[in-house]
Each structure stands twice: as C-alpha cells, then as structure tokens.
Structure 1
C-alpha cells in the first residue's frame, strides 16, 4: 500500500454502502430487448464455453414447499461479464389463478466489486431460453433437408418453439398438437405455416423434427412412431416419468446440456434416471467437434433439456448489454 493510500484508506467500520443505483428491466422490456437470433448464436457460444470449463455453474439449491412448488437458485458466471443469479419458482397451482407456473427474477452483479447492476424479470427469459436451446439442437442435429416439424404442446414452451423454429430451417409445415385441440388451433394461428392437428401419431410419422413441449406426466408419443432420420427434442418437466419415451433416449444418440441432466428432479430429468451419463453427448462437446453431431440421414437424434443457468446468463447479458447500448440507466435505489 502506498503512503497516499495509507493516508486516505478508511476502516471497514467507517465505510457504508450508501445509496446504489440499479437498473430494473420489466418483462415487456426484456421481451423487446432480447433478439431471438442473437440468443440462438449466444447459446451456441455458451454451450462451447461451458464444455471448455469457462463458465461457472455451481449446483442449484432448491427450497421445496410441500404440495405447492419449489424455488431454485441458479448462479452462473463467465470471465469478462457480470455474475448472474436467477431465482425461479415453479408452482403448478398458479395456472388455476391465471398466473404462470414459472416465475423468475434475475440479478446481475459487477464481477470486480459485487455491486448489483441490474434486476430484471426472468419469467420471459426462462421460457424463451429453454425453447431456444432445443431449437439450437435442431439447427445442428436435424437433417439439412428437414421440411416438416411437429410441436406437441400448446403452452409457453410450444409458443416459443413456434417463434424460433423458422430461424433454423425453412419448414414447409409446422404441425401443432395438444391435449386440447382448441389450444393447438389458437397457437397455430400465430404462424401462417402452422396447422393444428388432432392426430399426433400421424403428425409424428411424417415429421423430420419433433419438439415435445408439454407438461405431460407420461410419454406423449411412442418411440415407434418416429421415422429414421428424425430429430427429437424434449423440454417438458413433469416427474417421475415425463413426456419423452425412455426408449428414444436409451436406444438412440442422446444429447444433453450437461451432466446435471442425470441428477434427480428438480435438477435433472426424470426420463433419464435409468440411463448412464456416459451414453449421452453434451451439446457443447458436439459443437466443439469433440463428439459427433448427426452422422447420417438415417439416425434418430434426441435432445433432452432441463434448462441450465448458462442459458439464463447468456440471455440476461444480451438484454443488459442492449439496454446499455440504448442508453437505459439505473432506475432504482438500494
């Protein structure tokens, strides 16, 4: 310490935080600021960085409220950017009172000082980043000539899949199937290439890409409906079983976000509980060329997602950087 520093340094007892200005970003602003194409590219870079060990994603602790829901804390950090912590609540009963069953908030902190930088809504990010990672898997694993996609589900995840799928392939048709046909009709009306279908089996049998995006507690399709050369993705969370037939994950080339997919819910995927992690390929390793992507036009590829903190970090940083570029300033005092 220099003599000047010695003269001006104050003891910890003399220092108080005082008023700190923090940027706040609402759900509507998050949705406006987050570019879907940039998110897909950012996630690809994020998966590579994760596989290289460049992103810290420590275990996410959970608080469980019996018979109600749970809260997860999801931190992540990559050198050169802010520290991110997302708090996400999953309460299934919310749908009965017109609230989303996933509610989240994201905090960003300066990595040099720990000073809070931004508080933003995380509900929209939770929805779109999960779908974006699944659609990213289709970008790299579906056949180049894929022309028909089926989305099974008509909720938040299905909505985001419908928005993102056209960014990775020029589909001739996007078929939408749901437990409630009227929900599929409402969702399909959002895209001129989308059609609601009642017969899920017939849709899957003619599809090149199948996106499972339901909240089903048992498989929503059968493994033998899937024709050779199809890419399957699954983002639904409903343990102990879930929407994805175990045979698809067990018998075909399986991709996951990271090894946490094999942990017990709510961290991992119920469909993977009897599958050894060595059977799977981390998507980041495949994007780095360390493990194979699709190797021929006949194999079936499967991507099972849970949603990880790296994805929230990528999305939140994109939102924050764009907000700064637009001149947004701190709006709250703590």
Structure 2
C-alpha cells in the first residue's frame, strides 16, 4: 500500500513509534482534563464499553464523542499471559473521525495511546486529591502502564521521590530507570506504607494493595485490575471514592470496576472531572483516604487521539491512505 505526504487529504496512519512520539505530555494532560470535565458535566456521548470474551481475554469496543476534541473509537484486546499470572497486554487501534462531517481522519496505535492517557488521568487524580505537599509516590507494577506512569512523573515531577514496587526485581529496576529520582522498593507492602500517593498499575486478579498498609491521608490511584480487583474491600470501604464516569460503579465489568460492584446503597462515587472543574470539593478530610478507580473511558481516547493527530499532522509524520 503506497503512502503520500501527510499534508494531503485522506486517513493518517501512525505506527506505534509515531503514535507515542505524537502524544505530547502537556497537551495530553490538558486534553484529558478537558475530557474529564466534559464527562462530569454530562457533555460526552460514550456508551458503556462492550466486549467479546475469549479464553485468552477480551476484545473491547469504546466509541466516544467529546465536543471540541472529536469523535473516535477504540478496538482493544486485553489478553492475559498464562506464563506470567497478573500480567496482560493491551493491543489494538484507535480511529479518529471529524466530529462535524464524519470523515475518518486518523488510525493509530491503541496500546501506547491508552497507556499515556491513563497515566494522565491518574496523575490528574493525584494532583487534585492528594494532600498538599505530597511528594512520595509509589508505583505498584512494572508493566507498560506502570512504565507510562513513571515516565510521565519524570516529565512533570522529576524531583519527586518515586518508589517502584513489583514482583520482578529486574523489571522493577528497568522501570525505575525511567525517572531520575526513582528507586526500587523493598517489596510492595513497605513501598505502599511510606507513600503519600500510590499508583496501582497492574494486571491483578486479586488485591495487591491492602488497607492496613495505607497511612492516613494517602491517595490511591488504581488504573489496573481489568481481570479482578487491585484493591481490597477494606480500602474501598474506608476511602472517599472517585471515578471517571458514573458507570464505574453501576456497570458490570469490563465497563465497570471490579472494586465498585458491591457498594452499599447510596454510597457516593464522585467524578474526577467534577473535582477538576471545581464543582466538587474533592478530598475534604486531610486524614482520610481517597481512591480514584479508573476503568478507562472513551472520552480519554478521544482526547489523546486529538492531540496525536494534531501533532503528527503538524510534524508531517505518518502515512496518508485512501479509506
């Protein structure tokens, strides 16, 4: 299939490397914030994620529209690794369309886009919900999502204390090398106990963070757990809860979160976007726990795809095809 200059009309195709290069960190942070606020204000059109399940994992479909950012759809597989329990891969593609006339604009790698936009949402939760002055960050996990989180912290908070905790010491050292002030923790429990903020980025099927390990006032951002809960029930019970969208608590997985499926009637789950817009006060009690439970949301894919498309078109990256 032949390609032409990226300045012509047609569909821009970005491979994995160009997709990642086009995801400018600060522009993605701004776009994800706008998308989260739009979700909180009910301005987004995005049905709950659906999935086809296989013995190996699932294929999820996530279409969404965010005013001013665009219209996009993601097809992504989440596949467990039988040889390495607790680890999974996310692969697929994101298609971006013109929100006004429906023209397909771009096709790009979903794995790198998902990792960056998820890290951006998790980081917004930390900035908005952690106690003032929080600077000790623990990242639980050593896979692609954990590495994306560490790399983003390296850009935004290179002076912060970052501890990486995982089951594989070699992978933990490799991940920690992405941040100039990071080091490998002495086990997950010890790393969590000394943290102001915990980023939980695993493919866990059972809890990897326990309530007893969390100091008063800790903020936890849990973005993994597609196959089961990352957090134990006691953590969920004691925390003030936040999510990207209301369906995180009322929809069954894979659309909703495993941790939020059995909340007591009337238990509130606030939207992170409402905190970012100032419509919700956020943490409140400085000594209390806060938990942001991410399930992923199509609006965040739209936000990141919007940035990647704009950056790549400006730089002349990618291949134009007639679709």
TM-score (norm 2): 0.89
Distance 1:40 1:226 in 2: 27
Q: Counterpart of 1:250? A: 237
The answer to whether the aligner puts 1:259 opposite 2:250 as a matched pair is no
Deviation at 1:154, TM superposition (A): 0.6
Aligned match of 1:304 in 293, 296, 299?
A: 293
Deviation at 1:282, TM superposition (A): 0.7
Q: Counterpart of 2:302? A: 313
- Do the aligned partners of residues 81 and 304 (structure 1) sit closer, same or farther apart at CA in structure 2, a change above 3 Å counting? closer
SS in 2 for 1:101: strand
* Structure 2 unpaired stretches of 5+: 1-8
Structure showing greater relative contact order (alpha-carbon pairs closer than 8 Å, 6 or more residues apart): 2
TM-score (norm 1): 0.86
For the Cα contact (< 8 Å) 1:146–1:169, is it kept in 2?
A: no
- Do the aligned partners of residues 95 and 30 (structure 1) sit closer, same or farther apart at CA in structure 2, a change above 3 Å counting? farther
- Do the aligned partners of residues 142 and 260 (structure 1) sit closer, same or farther apart at CA in structure 2, a change above 3 Å counting? same
Q: Counterpart of 1:192? A: 180
RMSD: 2.2
The answer to whether the aligner puts 1:293 opposite 2:290 as a matched pair is no
- Do the aligned partners of residues 208 and 200 (structure 1) sit closer, same or farther apart at CA in structure 2, a change above 3 Å counting? same
The answer to whether the aligner puts 1:115 opposite 2:97 as a matched pair is no
Q: Counterpart of 2:3? A: none
Q: Deviations over 1:235-254 (max 9, x none)?
A: 11243x42111221221111
SS in 1 for 2:11: strand
Distance 2:88 2:198 in 1: 25
Aligned match of 1:149 in 110, 121, 137?
A: 137
Moved more, 220-229 or 197-206: 197-206
For the Cα contact (< 8 Å) 1:62–1:71, is it kept in 2?
A: yes
The answer to whether the aligner puts 1:84 opposite 2:79 as a matched pair is no
For the Cα contact (< 8 Å) 1:181–1:198, is it kept in 2?
A: no
The answer to whether the aligner puts 1:223 opposite 2:211 as a matched pair is yes
Distance 1:238 1:328 in 2: 33
Distance 1:264 1:279 in 2: 17
